[in-house]
Structure 1
């Protein structure tokens, strides 16, 4: 019996990715101009970034419990095994909502093989975990193997990123108004990473060129075995910059592959246009 892989829209995988790897996506909610939209379904990342450039402040909400219940019940009735890999519980209540629905659905279908895991990852770092799980599922791997490899990936996935404008992090409550103002005035670029699923400031660097160079330096220090892994680069509607970063990575390492995707509406609503992120493993992939 094949394993079905579910993820939410914070994994920042494209429609093409979802189709290619047979991944079922559950959308988070984006609130803009008083209306609710399904991330990646009824609103695009580009629409959200354009709205932010116009001074609007979109909000986000977790995947609705109803969507989880509907998806889980569908697979329970079909007799499928399901692995739902969730967006970091430190950044959203989506994982907790899924756990509640897991309990409810399993009471009605006690034989249903369902696993709900908190990846503690975000954006394409999360997406790379999901893709690896889906690749294994497509080759007919069993649940135990997929769980083991997925855990290795999300426990060793590095997230290194910077934002173009601190104002967006201020709106999301990540920095103070003073820090945002001074940072913008002095062209300060924050370098951040993820630690146990939380966003943690790493350094403050003056100027975009210096921060991108520093990202590669951090990658060199933390990463390993790049020849055997896919590196992820996600961007807030800044494809040209993402491709420049990819060229910097290729110039330094003979990486297996580089995947470039746009940051979706959910994370983009908080990070803003111009955000650049790099994702890679700090241990050899399984």
Structure 2
């Protein structure tokens, strides 16, 4: 049986793609009052205030990994999770893998959204080609390392409240109604540059994504939080300015990431080299 790939719901992979590729998705959690909503499983009401989030627990991951390992016939499980700097899910996954043995490997994507989704998708493609657990692991690590994640938000308040960006950067972003462009560096979300208007911030976002994409084949994802028109416009510009796009995904982010970035946010993930099995270094069998 092929190696089974597991990821978490912050990957923003569509249910259709997950089903087609045989990827297992562990839900992250949205917490409100006494309710625990599992992202991608339970319907999360919009407009909730005082919402917090939590990662997947060790117990949840043990259950999913164990079932995946059994379904693989012992060939193995490769789990790719949201950055350890943004969630405790990777650490819980590491603990779960230690409990189950060496046939379960865990990768820190050092990102979120399709910065996580592309490595998981590439790993699943390698697994479906019948490659070994080591080859699947190496592919996920390689694609994760190539990914670049950028985002613009209307306000930094949500990120500051959730502890995903420092207070000083948050104050810098709200001063004079600045519209910040952020990017992920070493798994952390940090300020890239400031702009004064939403129009300028989206233009800078596109410019930065084009720069990061380079000249060769590239997989691109555009994410949004209740801002489909903005996302479609950004996707159209990227398609025009990056002629070698091998894969383009436009999707609304889930409730967990949406809680932290707030409504109106638009993000771009570029993965130079793409996320296919044909590119280099899938690793030896």
1:19 matched to 2:53: no
Give 1:154's aligned residue: 144
Q: Distance in 1 between matches of 2:185 and 2:174?
A: 25
Which residue does the alignment assign to 2:135? 145
The residue aligned with 2:85 is: 90
- Assess, with a 3 A threshold, how the Cα gap between structure 1 residues 179 and 144 changes in structure 2: closer, same or farther: closer
**Corresponding position of 2:282:** none
* Match of residue 247 from structure 1: 236
Name 1:206's counterpart in structure 2: 196
Local SS of the residue matching 1:211? helix
Instruction: Tell me which of 109, 120, 129 is aligned to 1:130.
Output: 120
Aligned equivalent of 1:102:
97
1:143-186 deviation per Cα after TM superposition (whole angstroms, max 9, x unaligned): 23222221111111100111122332232243549955x85574
The answer for the alignment partner of 1:234 in structure 2 is 223
Matched, 1:166 2:156: yes
Q: Does 1:267 align with 2:263?
A: no
State the secondary structure of the residue aligned to 1:200: strand
Report the 3-state secondary structure (helix = DSSP H, G, I; strand = E; otherwise coil) of the residue aligned with 1:92: coil
Query: Which segment drifts farther, 270-279 or 69-78?
Result: 69-78
- Residues 181-192 of structure 1: pairs in structure 2 closer than 5 A: 183=173, 186-192=176-182
- Give the 3-state SS of the residue equivalent to 2:154 in structure 1: coil
Give the CA RMSD over aligned residues. 2.1
Deviations 1:109-139 (A, max 9, x none): xxx6111111111112111111111122222
CA distance in structure 2 between the partners assigned to 1:105 and 1:159 by the alignment: 32
Name the structure where helix makes up a greater proportion of residues: 1
How far apart are 1:20 and its partner, in Å? Answer: 2.0
* Contact 1:224/1:284 (8 A) holds in 2: no
How far apart, in 2, do the equivalents of 1:257 and 1:104 lie? 37
Which residue pairs with 1:109 in the alignment? none
Q: TM-score, normalised by structure 1?
A: 0.87
Following TM superposition, the consecutive aligned residue runs of length 4 or more in structure 1 with deviations greater than 4 angstroms are: 177-180, 182-185, 282-285
Instruction: Quote how far apart the aligned CAs of 1:283 are.
Output: 5.5
Matched residue of 1:51: which SS?
A: coil
Q: Residue 71 of structure 1 corresponds to which residue in structure 2?
A: 64
- 1:197-240 deviation line (CA, Å, top 9, x unaligned): 111111111111111111122123222245x2220111112111
> Which ranges in structure 2 are unaligned for 5 or more consecutive residues?
280-285
Structure 1 gap segments, 5+ residues each: 107-111
Matches within 5 A, 1:103-118: 103-106=98-101, 113-118=103-108
**Normalized against structure 2, the TM-score is what?**
0.88
Cα pair distance change 1:257/1:73, threshold 3 Å: closer
